[in-house]
Amino acid sequence: MTHAVLSLLKESRHPMRIDLIGVAGSGMSGLALLLLGLGHKVSGSDKATTLETERLQKLGLQFFPQHCDKEVEDCDMVIYSSAIKPGNVAYEAAYKQGIPLIRRAEALAAVMANKKGVVVCGTHGKTTTSALTAHVLRQGGLKPSHYVGAEIPILGSNAHWDAEGELFVAEGDESDGTLVHFHPEHAIVLNIEPEHLDFYDGIEAIKAVFRQVLSQTRGHWVFCAEDPVASEVCAGSQGVSYGWDRDHDFSANILAMKPDHSVFDVYQRGMLLGNATLGIPGRHNVSNALAAIALATRCGVTFEAIQHALRTFRGAKRRFEIRHSGEHFTVVDDYGHHPSEIAATLATAKGLNAERIVCLFQPHRYSRTQLLKKEFGASFAAVDELFVTDVYPASEKPLPGVSGETILEEVRLQNDHTKTASTPTMLIARDKVGNALRPGDLLITLGAGNVHEVGRCIARDLPVLEKLCGILEDNGGGVARLYEPMSRHTTWLIGGPAQYWIEPRNEASFAEVVRYLRSASIPIRVIGRGSNLLVKDGGIRGAVIHPKGDFENVVVNGNEITAGAGARLKKIASTARKAGIGGFEWMEGIPGNLGGAIRMNAGAMGAETFDQIVSVRFIDTDGGIKEKPLAEITHHYRSVPEFEERYVVSAVLKGSPAPQTEIDAKLAASHHKRRASQPVGASAGCTFKNPEVCGAGKLIDDLSLKGRSVGKAVVSDVHGNFIVNQGGATAREVLDLVAQIKEKALQERGVTLEMEVKVIGEDQPLQL
C-alpha cells in the first residue's frame, strides 16, 4: 500500500491530500514547497508558528500551530520528520485510521522520481554543495528543481519545483539509512566517515548504504578523491574524481583565500580550464565547488557559465555566515557539528588572520559526543579560547557522564594552549563569551542546535562596542567590553552583567564617550568601586562607565588636594597624611572612590564629603566639561541631586595643617572603630539611612534581626545595619532580606526604613 501511495507523488495530475507532521523544520518545509509545486493539497503542523510556516501558508499550506488529530482528517498520506516518534497525537491518529505514514526521505525520493535526480550525499558539506550545484546548473540554463537543508538566499528558498527542467538536485540524508530509497541519475559523494553511530554498527554498515545508492545510480558518481573511503566505495567506470591532485578528473590550485571569497585555477584531467572566484571562503568550499563543477561540466554547462555562477554564489544560512564584520571584531556562525566539519571551518577562520579565534560550540547528540570525543578534542586545535555548552539532544535521551564537559576534557588532554570554559546555557554562554571578546578577535559559533542565537545577540551589540573602542583609541586609550559581571565591581560582590562596560583614561575620552552614548540614547551609569551599590541579578541595560588612569591621580597643592573621580578615599587619606594635611582621616577604611563619595555625599566619623569640597569638575549633560565651586552645588545628607545626570571627573578638597602624631592618632582611631564595629565580610556598608529615632543598626539589633538570612545574604552579627554576602548571594536574596527588615521595623516600631544603598539594574537578564 505504501509503495502504491508513494507512486502517486510522481503524478501531479492526481493531486493528494498530504499532511506533514513537523512542517517547520528545514527539511520538512522544503518538502512542503515541492508538494505544493506538484499541485497537492498540503497541510502541516508544528509546535509554534514561525516565519517559515507563515511563508508556506501564503503559498497554500493549511497550518496547525500544534500537533493534533484533526490535521490528518481525510488525508491520503501523512509524512513525518525524524523528530516525530510514535506517541505523537497526529502520528497516532493517522495510524489508527490506517492512513499511510511515510518518512520524509521516502517521500522526497518519490518526488525526485519525477525528474533526473542528482543526490548529494556524505557526512558533511551536503547543504553547501547541493546549493552550489543547483545554482551552477540554473546559471547554465538547465532549470533544475532543488531541495537543500537550509535557507539559501541566492536560490530564493530551500526547495523549488521547476516544471520545465529535467534535473532535480537534492541533499540526501544518510543518518538513518533512508538514502537507499533514492534511484538518481547522478550522485555526488563528498565523504564517508564514522558518523550516526547510534544507528549504524560501524563504518562497514555506512559503506553498504552508499554502495547501494550508487548501484541504483544510472549516470555519474562524482566523488572526492581526497577521502579514502569515498574513493574506495566509488571506484568504477561511472566514477568522476575531484581533489587537489592533477591526476584526478577535476582538480584545483588555490590562488587566494579572502574573508569573503576564494580564487583558484580549475583543471580537467590536468588541463587548465580557467580561473574561478567562489563567493564564499574556505579550502573545504573550494573542494565542494569542484564537485559542482564536475557534475555541471558532465551535464553540458559551459565553463563561462560556471565561472559566473561561482562568483555570484553567497552560500547557505549558517554555513560560515558572517554575522558581524567590523574594524575590531568579526562574528561568524556555522552549522558544523562533526569533527571534520569543525576542523575545516576553523581552518577557514584561521585564514582570516584574526588576532585570536574565540569559539562557542554546542555539541549535537549525546551519542556523537561520546563516540567521537577524541576527534572533537583534536578538531579545536586552532582555537585560542573555547566555550562549550550543554549537549543539544535532538531526539536523544541523555547518556550518563556525557556532557559538554566531555569535549572540554579531551581538548585539555590534547593541547595546553587553548583556554577552555563550560557555559551550559545559552544565556551563560552569551554573557561569558561576549565578555571574553577583545579587539582583534574573531568569534565563531558552531553547532546544529540553537547556538546561533548567541552569535546573533552578540553581533547585535557589537556596533556600539565598535564605536566605543574607536572613541577610546582616538582619545588616549581605554577599555570597552560587553557583558561585564558587576559582581567584579561592587564591594557586595553581587550583580549581573553591564551591557557595555567602559573604562576611559582621561577627561577627553570620558566626555566623548558620554556625547556618543547620549546621541545614541543609551542609558549611562558611572560607578567607582561600587561600595554603596546593589546591582540586580539581571544586570544593567546600557553603559556603565568606570573612570581609570588619570582619574586615579591625587595631587597636593598647599592645604588642598586635587583628586580624580577614580581615586580611592584611602589613597586620598594616605596622601594627605604624607603632606601633613589633617581632616581626611575619616576616609580611612571606606572602600570607595571620590566620584561615588561626591555623588552620595558619603561620610563617617561625624564628617561628610562636602565638608571638604572646594570645587567639583564634571561632565555636563551635553558632554561639555565644567567646574562649580561648593557654593553653587546643592547637597544633602547622602544625596547630591546636582550629579544625578552629570558625571564627576575630579574635585578640589581642602584640609588644614596638622601634626603628624595627631593625624596618625585619628587614622588609628578611625581604623580601630571600623574594625571593631563593622564586619569583615563582603558588604555595601550601611544598608539603611539612620532614622530620626535612633541609629539603624541599633534598631535592627533591638528587633533581634542579627543573624537573619535569606539564602547567602545575612544580617551581620557585628553591626545590624550591614548585610553580608556569605558567598554567592544574589541581589534577589538581599532585597528579600531588606523587605523583611523593613516590614518588621514598620510593624513593631512604626519606623519606615529607607535604604542608603543605591539599587540599580534589571530583575531579569537581557534576553537573547
Report pLDDT for 5: 53
Question: In this model, does residue 396 exceed pLDDT 90?
Answer: no
Q: How confident is the model at residue 519 (pLDDT cuts 50, 70, 90)?
A: very high
Q: What is the CATH number of domain 680-760?
A: 3.90.78.10
| CA–CA dist 109, 123 (Å, integer) | 19
| CA–CA dist 236, 233 (Å, integer) | 9
**Which CATH topology does 321-460 take?**
Protein-Tyrosine Phosphatase; Chain A (3.90.190)
Between 57 and 114, whose confidence is greater? 57
Q: Which among 53, 71, 126, 389 is annotated as catalytic?
A: 126
Report pLDDT for 3: 55
Of 416, 386, 421, 388, the residue nearest 402 (C-alpha): 388
pLDDT in tens, 251-268: 999 999 887 789 999 999
pLDDT in tens, 419-438: 999 999 999 999 999 999 99
| CA–CA dist 415, 580 (Å, integer) | 57
- The superfamily (CATH) of domain 115-312 is Mur-like, catalytic domain (3.40.1190.10)
Query: DSSP assignment of 289-341, as one string?
Result: HHHHHHHHHHTT--HHHHHHHHHH----TTSSEEEEE-SS-EEEEE---SHHH
127 catalytic per annotation: yes
Q: How confident is the model at residue 4 (pLDDT cuts 50, 70, 90)?
A: low
Report pLDDT for 8: 61
226 catalytic per annotation: no
Of 55, 58, 52, 59, the residue nearest 36 (C-alpha): 59
Q: What's the CATH number of domain 553-669, 3.40.47.40, 3.90.850.10, 3.30.465.10, 3.40.50.150?
A: 3.30.465.10
423 catalytic per annotation: no
Domain spans of the chain, in order of start? 2-103, 115-312, 321-460, 553-669, 680-760
Q: Report the side by side order of strands in the sheet with 554-557.
A: 554-557, 560-564, 647-654, 613-619, 625-629
Report pLDDT for 194: 81
Name the amino acid, one letter, at 230. Answer: A
Mean predicted confidence (pLDDT) in 165-177: 87
Maximum CA extent, the chain: 106
| CA–CA dist 722, 531 (Å, integer) | 12
Question: In this model, does residue 225 exceed pLDDT 50?
Answer: yes
Name the amino acid, one letter, at 503. Answer: E
pLDDT in tens, 144-153: 999 987 777 7
Report pLDDT for 701: 93
Lowest mean pLDDT among 59-63, 186-190, 192-196, 425-429: 192-196
Of 85, 83, 106, 73, the residue nearest 23 (C-alpha): 83
Question: In this model, does residue 42 exceed pLDDT 70?
Answer: yes
Q: Is the distance from CB of 528 to CB of 566 less than 8 angstroms? A: yes
Q: Which among 71, 106, 123, 127 is annotated as catalytic?
A: 127
Report pLDDT for 744: 95
Q: Is the distance from CB of 464 to CB of 520 less than 8 angstroms? A: yes
- What average pLDDT does the structure give for the chain? 90
Place of cell 577604611: 589
CB atoms inside a 10 Å sphere around CB 168? 26
Query: DSSP assignment of 95-164, as one string?
Result: HHTT--EEEHHHHHHHHHTTSEEEEEESSS-HHHHHHHHHHHHHHTT---EEE-SS--GGGSSSEE--SS
Compute CA 561 distance to the chain's CA centroid, rounded to the nearest angstrom: 47
pLDDT in tens, 670-713: 777 666 667 778 998 899 999 988 899 899 999 999 999 999 99
Mean predicted confidence (pLDDT) in 732-751: 95
Instruction: Provide the 3-class DSSP secondary structure of residue 32.
Output: helix
Q: Which among 106, 151, 171, 174 is annotated as catalytic?
A: 171
Question: In this model, does residue 498 exceed pLDDT 50?
Answer: yes
Instruction: Provide the 3-class DSSP secondary structure of residue 520.
Output: coil
Q: Report the side by side order of strands in the sheet with 540-545.
A: 478-485, 497-504, 540-545, 524-526
pLDDT in tens, 112-128: 888 999 999 998 888 88
Query: DSSP assignment of 228-285, as one string?
Result: HHHHHHT-STTEEEEESSTTSSEEEEEEEE-SS-EEEEEEETTEEEEEEEESS--HHH
Of 307, 308, 330, 328, the residue nearest 320 (C-alpha): 330
Report pLDDT for 1: 39
Tell whether domain 2-103 is in CATH 3.40.50.720.
yes
Q: Rounded to two decimals, what is the model's pTM?
A: 0.74
Grid coordinates given for 642: 546636582
